[in-house]
Structure 1
Amino acid sequence: MFVDYSTITEEAKVWVYPSSRKFYPNEIEGIENKVKAFLESWKSDDENFKASYKLLYNRFIVFFAEDKDATLTNSDIDASVSFILGLQQEYEVELLDKMNACFKQGEYVQYKDLKDFKKLLKNKAVTAKSIIFDNLITTKVDFDNNWEIPLEESWYNRYL
């Protein structure tokens, strides 16, 4: 069941899907409608299941799912990945590539593959104080507290 983000507990599972490009303003409503429809139907046979999402910076699709009273099975996860693959194809973006770094440069969010990101660090275009997005977080409490953090406080600090 799709619910408001504010009702999702801190223990909820989180999946962050960073887009390889910013979504265009004319795409946002369509993406949000598709995501809501998917979450409404995802595990619709389980009345204890709650899910929500956020679309942030016109670049990140974030799913939240409470599985304390409604266990997520492999087929449930497969359904979500299949949905994301469909969005990738429809909008011609990459959403499942985890070998990238998303970070802020001024007011803009950048998406770089790790090889290019390391070059930016070497050239000091990105520093230890740069804000990076940890897209590998797994719970809502981590999302709320550790998703947008200085690079030096993240697992990316190994590249400094």
Structure 2
Amino acid sequence: MLIPFNKMPDYARIWVYQANKNLSEAEVNYIQQNLENQVNQWAAHGADLMGAVQILHNRFVLVAVDEMHNQASGCSIDASTRWLKDLGAEMNIDFFNRSIAFVDNDQIQTVEMLKIKPLVAEGILTPDTLIFNNLVPNIGEFKNAWQVSAINSWMKRYFQTATI
């Protein structure tokens, strides 16, 4: 059962998928419609799931489920992952991109994990750089901790100076 994303409770489980490129408006509309149709029919062991989908910044696809309504099962979670894999194959988009997204001059940029250290050394990534924490587990944490300063994230280790 599809509900508006803004009606999802803070405890609702969330998955954040990051596209490997900025999506066009046509791509956003197509993905949104496709996923809304999927979420509207989403079920776990025959029990309907209450879910929502939203696309932010033409880059991030959010899928959420209210598990107080019905628990998502491993199979239903696998199904939601398959939606993104199928869309990605159809549209030549990688929604399972593991690069780090950050804000630079009001633009969302991405960097491969292996390139973080050199970008910190060059001063391109600073402790104040806003990064996107796509591992938030629920809507509440999404609202409060999806965009965080690099120093307040797992990236803080890159800014600590070595002590002798």
Name the residue aligned to 1:137: 136
Name the residue aligned to 1:27: 27
Name the residue aligned to 2:86: 86
Choose 1 or 2 for highest CA Rg: 2
Offset, 1:64: 1.1
1:3-152 equivalent positions in 2, closer than 5 A: 3-43=3-43, 45-47=46-48, 49-97=49-97, 99-152=98-151
* Contiguous gaps of at least 5 residues in structure 2: 160-164
TM-score of the superposed pair, with normalisation by structure 1? 0.92
Letter of the 2:155 counterpart: Y
Pairwise CA RMSD of aligned residues? 1.4
**Off by >2 Å, runs of 4+ in structure 1:** 44-47
| Corresponding residue SS for 1:102 | strand
| Corresponding residue SS for 1:89 | helix
| Corresponding residue SS for 1:58 | coil
| Corresponding residue SS for 1:144 | helix
Offset, 1:147: 0.2
* Separation of aligned partners in 2, 1:43 and 1:16: 20
Offset, 1:25: 2.3
